[in-house]
Amino acid sequence: MCELLGMSANVPTDICFSFTGFLRRGGETGPHGDGWGIAFYEQGGYREFRDPHPSADSPIARLICEYPIKSNIVISHIRQANVGNVGLANTHPFSREMWGRQWGYAHNGQLQGWQTLELSFYRPIGRTDSEHAFCWLLGELRKRFPQPPEDPGALWETLHGLCERLRALGVFNLLLSDGHYLYCFCSTKLVHITRRAPFGKARLRDADLIVDFVEHTTSNDIVSVIATEALTDNEEWTRMSPGELLVWRHGEISARYGHDTVASEVASSMHKL
Amino acid sequence: MCELLGMSANVPTDICFSFTGFLRRGGETGPHGDGWGIAFYEQGGYREFRDPHPSADSPIARLICEYPIKSNIVISHIRQANVGNVGLANTHPFSREMWGRQWGYAHNGQLQGWQTLELSFYRPIGRTDSEHAFCWLLGELRKRFPQPPEDPGALWETLHGLCERLRALGVFNLLLSDGHYLYCFCSTKLVHITRRAPFGKARLRDADLIVDFVEHTTSNDIVSVIATEALTDNEEWTRMSPGELLVWRHGEISARYGHDTVASEVASSMHKL
């Protein structure tokens, strides 16, 4: 299995703190040593850094921790290979252009029978179930919406339906973005937290690091982080429900599909710092 | 204007030496301080590093110099903006997937009337003439060849024709690759050099650096470098002809279209080290 990390913020924000904890799971505090990647949406542009080596000792990952790239949306992934060998072509995030927007995608889980998903506009470059599913999903969206729909709700509902079809094939936890919205679909495991004023301190689970967000934010900042497992041990993270799709914009939830209130409990007990 | 750097090699080779000289032109020995990018094809995969800041003082560019990424094909670009503001979305290389291959592209020059090039499968994310031309070019190839043709010569001839159409709109020096071949089209200025045994020393023009390739190669290695201007001052670089398309594979020229023998002179006089 793999792990996911996402961010949605209303101001360009760096993800150095969260990423510092996350990357330790790539071969150090976690077993996900088969490559890693991170995608940033910045000022209408997109860039990604991908490496087929363990993140815990990757010079490129270290750079990402030390060189604050300020972004509104981030998608990151550390890999423990199941389908497809270890290599750059099989390293998330994957991306494709649709409607003049770069769509970035990362998947946690494993699918059965994914080879039968019929592709249209997009073809995988590597050999993972994940990339195949992405090409299928984006192709289905494009067939249904050759242009961006005026009502984004129609798109989101279709996306939710496509995610449910993939969930029926196995485990399909998803981070997806077009630079405008961050989409998170939960199949088995995704948690999230929204930080806003009054800001406090946070302590990483995977590294000996505490940050006081007061020192790095203004009172208007809203920053949400989505991850497979909570990254801090002194904050409340909310667990998503299986089958739930969250649409994030500017750090807040714009829309929610397939929400099951019973399962939406607090993910981790809160230990005050 | 901008500058281009490309590499084709028969063994995975790092481009640290050439890139060290090249990046100095991005704000130090040259005026191309409006962003830079580099794309690597490795083991069937593709990754790129792009930064809208001057390469001469970019921590990411420094990492690329110090962290040898071994690759068979490289495309790099430093930008001096004309069409489109300085920003990530306007930073080369651009890339799109076609036939399950990632096509990487960088352009030097400026086009007129490019807005009238009618797009099909691919849309630009940024606002440059370069990316628009790329989307058009790749879309035209895809319309003509929905699948990779059995005879690659048919593709190359079509590509040459499309490049000539773009050259008619202005200056169109091109580096393009699908991971199998590196395509170089010369509109006004591109030079190349092939290094093979017996290897010697090379001295950068833009930085105080000499490399002895004997120490870094085996006798079977063939490595070709293509650039807007010669990167070393003690070797012979060959100047391409306007209208010429070179198809590189494993460090050697596989095919050549539109070659004008008269203009194919030695680009720089050779100064022995």
* Cβ <8 Å between B44 and A101: no
Q: Of A40-49, A178-187, A254-263, B242-251, give the lowest mean pLDDT range.
A: A254-263
Please, are residues B141 and B159 in contact by the beta-carbon 8 Å criterion?
yes
- The pLDDT value recorded for residue B222 is 97
* Cβ <8 Å between B99 and A123: yes
Count CA atoms closer than 13 A to B81's CA, side-chain side: 18
Residues from chain A contacting residue B60 (CB–CB below 8 Å): 63, 67
The yes-or-no verdict on residue B139 having pLDDT over 60 is yes
Percent pLDDT > 90 in chain A is 76
Picking from B43, B50, B67, the nearest residue to A59 by CB comes out as B67
Q: Is A44 on the interface with B (CB under 8 A)?
A: yes
* Cβ <8 Å between B45 and A59: no
Find which of B46, B97, B101, B136 to mutate to test the A interface (most A CBs within 10 Å of its CB).
B97
Chain B CA closest to residue A91:
B45
Mean pLDDT of A182-206: 95
Instruction: Name the DSSP letter for residue B60.
Output: H
Chain B CA closest to residue A101:
B125
- The pLDDT value recorded for residue B138 is 98
Higher pLDDT, A218 or A81: A218
- The pLDDT value recorded for residue A271 is 43
* Cβ <8 Å between B96 and A97: yes
Residues from chain B contacting residue A126 (CB–CB below 8 Å): 44-45
Distance from CA of B121 to the nearest CA of A (A): 8
The helix/strand/coil state of A78 is strand
Chain A CA closest to residue B101:
A125
- The pLDDT value recorded for residue B30 is 77
Angle at A164 between CA A163 and CA A167, to 5 degrees: 90
Please, are residues B211 and B245 in contact by the beta-carbon 8 Å criterion?
no
What is the per-residue pLDDT across A48-73, written as a single tens digit (0 to 9) for each?
A: 999 998 888 889 998 998 888 999 99
- The pLDDT value recorded for residue B273 is 45
Q: Is B143 on the interface with A (CB under 8 A)?
A: no
- The pLDDT value recorded for residue A268 is 43
Percent pLDDT > 70 in chain B is 95
The yes-or-no verdict on residue B191 having pLDDT over 90 is yes
Higher pLDDT, A84 or A18: A18
Q: Is A100 on the interface with B (CB under 8 A)?
A: yes
Model confidence at B70, pLDDT cuts 50, 70, 90, reads very high
Picking from B52, B63, B125, the nearest residue to A97 by CB comes out as B125
Residues from chain A contacting residue B99 (CB–CB below 8 Å): 123
Higher pLDDT, B223 or A57: B223
Please, are residues B1 and B110 in contact by the beta-carbon 8 Å criterion?
yes
Model confidence at B271, pLDDT cuts 50, 70, 90, reads very low
Q: Is A76 on the interface with B (CB under 8 A)?
A: no
- The pLDDT value recorded for residue A83 is 78
Mean pLDDT of B109-134: 96
The yes-or-no verdict on residue B28 having pLDDT over 90 is no
Mean pLDDT of B109-114: 96
Number of neighbouring beta carbons within 10 Å of residue B65: 18
Q: Which A-chain residues 177-206 have CB contacts (< 8 A) with chain B?
A: none
CA-wise closest residue to B129 among B170, B189, B175, B162:
B170
Our measurement of the distance from residue A97's CA atom to the centroid of its chain's CA atoms, rounded to an integer in Å, reads 18
Distance from CA of A45 to the nearest CA of B (A): 4
Highest-confidence segment of A48-57, A61-70, B61-70, B223-232: B223-232
**Every domain of chain B and the residues it spans:** 3-263
Q: Structure tokens of B237?
A: 């670089």
CA-wise closest residue to A177 among A190, A195, A192, A159:
A159
Q: CATH number of the domain at B3-263, out of 3.40.50.720, 3.30.70.120, 3.60.20.10, 3.40.50.300? A: 3.60.20.10
Please, are residues B111 and B169 in contact by the beta-carbon 8 Å criterion?
yes
- The pLDDT value recorded for residue B26 is 76
Instruction: Name the DSSP letter for residue B232.
Output: B
- The pLDDT value recorded for residue A169 is 98
- The pLDDT value recorded for residue A155 is 97
Picking from B43, B49, B126, the nearest residue to A45 by CB comes out as B126
* Cβ <8 Å between B90 and A49: no
Q: Read off the amino acid at residue A142.
A: R
Q: State whether ipTM is beyond 0.85.
A: yes
- The pLDDT value recorded for residue B260 is 63
User: How many contacts (CB atoms, under 8 Å) link A and B?
Assistant: 84
* Cβ <8 Å between B125 and A44: yes
- The pLDDT value recorded for residue B74 is 98
The yes-or-no verdict on residue A267 having pLDDT over 50 is no
Provide the mean pLDDT of chain B. Answer: 91
Residues from chain A contacting residue B70 (CB–CB below 8 Å): none
